[in-house]
């Protein structure tokens, strides 16, 4: 009898996209821009070093996939039967378990994934899609009490952006490095130190980049093209 009652409760709380409407604008690829965690200061993605591109891609069947700092995840939303248009559940969530390149990345990703995978059964989330201060849509996803994730739409090709790591050679290097991928003049090339130093490198059609004036140590390279984001570690000796 208890088992039957449990089944009734689950079906009463979780429905699918056909059982109740959801905002069609939710189906999009969203870039995470900030995290609110109750009384803690708002954590912004742009403050993470080395830089990351966390995202959430929501499909028409309400399944989703995404990326944090160095781990990918998959899961699904479920519309709550009998709840409001802006109420959903997250009955499924799984993620890879890699260690990222910095404590900053690990901490931010942990906060992101924790809010998508809370150890609370049948927790109801609220979401809203409004217009942000820049005129772009803003997705707010959370469960009240000051815990919210904020996203804006992104046009990055997220199906490819983390699948083709860039190769740097020679690596280690003392003066110059070259890249295994041809770039265009509008590509962004950014190098970071583990201490948070950031430098934008000027596109060079020869494919070589001068870092002779940098101190010896470990650096992180990020290359952003019109479709993809590549990252690599660079060692200078």
Domain extent listing, the chain = 2-153, 168-236
Q: Is the pTM of this model over 0.85?
A: no
Structure-block tokens of residue 100: 């990222």
* Domain topology for 168-236: Immunoglobulin-like (2.60.40)
Backbone φ and ψ of 19, nearest 5°: -75, -30
Is the Cβ–Cβ distance between 62 and 75 less than 8 Å?
no
Nearest to 140 by CA among 132, 129, 125: 129
CA distance 211 to 176: 6
Helices assigned H by DSSP within 54-126: 103-116
Q: What is the CATH number of domain 2-153?
A: 2.40.128.270
Question: Which residue has 């050679």 as its token pair?
Answer: 169
Is the Cβ–Cβ distance between 150 and 138 less than 8 Å?
yes
CA distance 156 to 160: 9
Sequential pLDDT tens for the chain (237 residues): 333 333 233 333 444 434 446 788 889 999 999 999 888 899 999 999 988 989 999 988 888 988 999 888 888 888 765 444 577 888 778 888 888 889 999 999 999 999 998 755 556 888 899 988 778 899 999 887 789 999 999 875 544 444 445 678 898 999 999 987 778 888 889 888 867 788 999 999 888 999 999 999 888 787 877 656 666 778 899
Give Cβ neighbours of residue 81 (< 8 Å, ≥ 6 apart). Answer: 12, 13, 14, 15, 19, 20
Structure-block tokens of residue 227: 């479709």
Q: How far is CA 8 from CA 13, 15, 18, 143, in A?
A: 9, 12, 19, 24
């Amino acid at each position: 009898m208890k088992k039957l009652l449990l089944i009734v409760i689950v079906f009463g709380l979780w429905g699918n996209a056909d059982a109740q409407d959801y905002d069609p604008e939710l189906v999009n690829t969203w870039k995470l821009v900030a995290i609110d965690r109750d009384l803690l200061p708002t954590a912004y993605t742009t403050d993470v070093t080395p830089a990351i591109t966390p995202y959430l891609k929501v499909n028409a069947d309400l399944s989703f996939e995404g990326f944090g700092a160095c781990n990918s995840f998959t899961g699904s939303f479920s519309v709550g039967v009998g709840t409001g248009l802006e109420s959903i559940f997250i009955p499924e969530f799984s993620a890879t378990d890699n260690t990222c390149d910095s404590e900053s990345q690990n901490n931010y990703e942990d906060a992101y994934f924790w809010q998508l995978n809370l150890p609370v059964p049948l927790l109801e989330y609220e979401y809203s899609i409004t217009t942000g201060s820049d005129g772009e849509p803003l997705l707010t996803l959370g469960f009240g009490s000051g815990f919210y994730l904020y996203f804006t739409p992104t046009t990055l090709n997220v199906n490819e952006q983390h699948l083709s790591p860039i190769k740097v050679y020679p690596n280690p290097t003392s003066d110059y490095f070259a890249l295994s991928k041809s770039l265009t003049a509008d590509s962004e090339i950014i190098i970071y130190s583990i201490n948070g130093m950031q430098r934008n490198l000027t596109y060079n059609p020869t494919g070589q980049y001068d870092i002779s004036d940098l101190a010896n140590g470990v650096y992180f390279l990020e290359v952003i093209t019109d479709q993809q984001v590549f990252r690599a570690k660079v060692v200078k000796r």
